[in-house]
Chains A and B, each alone.
Chain A
C-alpha cells in the first residue's frame, strides 16, 4: 500500500528543545512539503523540496529546518527559535511529472505540543 507516513502522531516538547518530525513516502514522488495547521488559519507552507538534496523555504520557514537526503524521506526539525511551535504539522508529497500534477497526498499529521 503506497502512502505517506508521519511519526509520531503526538509529540510533546519542552521549551528550548529541538524536535524532529518524521515523514516517509513510498509513492516515488519527487516533491515533498511540510505544512502547519493552526485554528482558523488553514494550512501554511513551511518548506518544500522538489528533488533530493534540495529544498526551498515556504511562507513560514523561520524556526524550522529540513533535510532531503533520500527521495523517500523529508524530516522537519522544529528548533528552539520557533516562537510558537504548538500546532498540527502535515507532510505531503506530489508527483510533479504527472499530468495536472497538483493533487498532493497528505500524511496523517503530527500534533506537537510545547509543555
Chain B
C-alpha cells in the first residue's frame, strides 16, 4: 500500500525553464511534507518542507504547493539549472505521532539540459 506516490519516474526540462515535480498521498493524517534531493551514491539532502496549515512555501528558486483536498503537492523549480539534475523524493509525516517517521515516494529523476 503506497501511501505516498510519485507517478512520474523521470522528467526532462531545458535550462532556465520551470520544473514541476508532483506527489500524491492517500493518508489524510499526514500533516507535514518534505522534498529531498538525492545524487547517486549519496544520502538525500533536505530541500524544502510545508506544513498542512499552509498551501505554499517558497525558498529561493524552490516553491512547494499543497492541495489538501486533492491530497497533492508539487515542487516548482524556477529557473531550472543543470545542477538541479538529481532524484527528488517527496516524503510525508505525522508530526503528532512524535516518531519522526517519514514515508517516501518512489522518486522522480530530474534532468535539466543545458
Contacts and interface: CB of A to CB of B under 8 A. Distances in A.
A89 B6 CA distance: 21
Interface in B26-85: 32, 34, 36, 41-46, 49, 51
Counting chain B residues whose Cβ lies within 8 A of the other chain, the interface size class is 20 to 34
A108 B104 CA distance: 17
A53 interface: no
Interface in A38-91: 40-45, 48, 50, 56, 58, 88, 90
Given A42-B89, A42-B106, A90 B49 contact: no
B51 A100 contact: yes
Contacts of B43: 4, 6, 90, 92, 106-109
A103 interface: yes
Contacts of B49: 100, 102-103
A43 B91 CA distance: 9
B93 to A, nearest CB: 4
B1 to A, nearest CB: 10
A40 B101 contact: no
Interface residues of A, number: 32
B9 interface: yes
Nearest to A31: B100
A4 B43 CA distance: 10
A108 B39 CA distance: 10
Given A45-B102, A96-B98, A109-B41, 4 more contacts: A31-B99, A31-B100, A90-B44, A103-B49
6 contacts: A45-B101, A48-B101, A92-B102, A102-B93, A103-B46, A108-B42
Closest A-B pairs by Cβ, 4 of them: A106-B43, A43-B104, A42-B104, A94-B100
Interface of A: 4, 6, 9, 31, 33, 35, 40-45, 48, 50, 56, 58, 88, 90, 92, 94, 96, 100-109, 111
Interface of B: 4, 6, 9, 32, 34, 36, 41-46, 49, 51, 89, 91, 93, 95, 98-107
